[in-house]
Amino acid sequence: MKYEAFLSYARVPDLALATALERSLQSFAKPWNRVRAIDVFRDQTDLSSIGGLAGGVTRAIDESEFFILLACPESAKSYWVRQELAHWLQTKSTEKIVLVLTGGAASWDRDNRDFDWEKT
């Protein structure tokens, strides 16, 4: 895999958090002889190096081990976040999705082993 993680988020309100998370993941426990601890794909830092928008994002998702979703009402409404998540769900395991709740509320239904979509 080229990237250990693909970072998906809504720029408003989560751009600053996404930037900080990317930097933190790349520097946490970094060996002295490497530029970064892990490679994280984030659109604003990596998109120009991988080609066009849609194809580049799809390729980055395909080359990522984990999908980190900064989840909030704005990301739920974002066309690009929905496209990124849909592609991941079509091609990869849900076991490698990391949800980071940055706004709104999430409610888990233990009986159905799924989110309670009336409350989430």
Token duo for residue 91: 């091609």
Q: Cα separation of 22 and 42, whole Å?
A: 7
Catalytic residue selected from 4, 84, 95, 118: 84
Mapped to the 3 state alphabet, what secondary structure does the chain carry? CCEEEEEECCHHHHHHHHHHHHHHHHHCCCCCCCCCCCCEECHHHHHHHHCCHHHHHHHHHHCEEEEEEEECHHHHHCHHHHHHHHHHHHHCCHHHEEEEECCCCCCEECCCCEECCCCC
Catalytic site residue 84? Answer: yes
Active site residues: 84
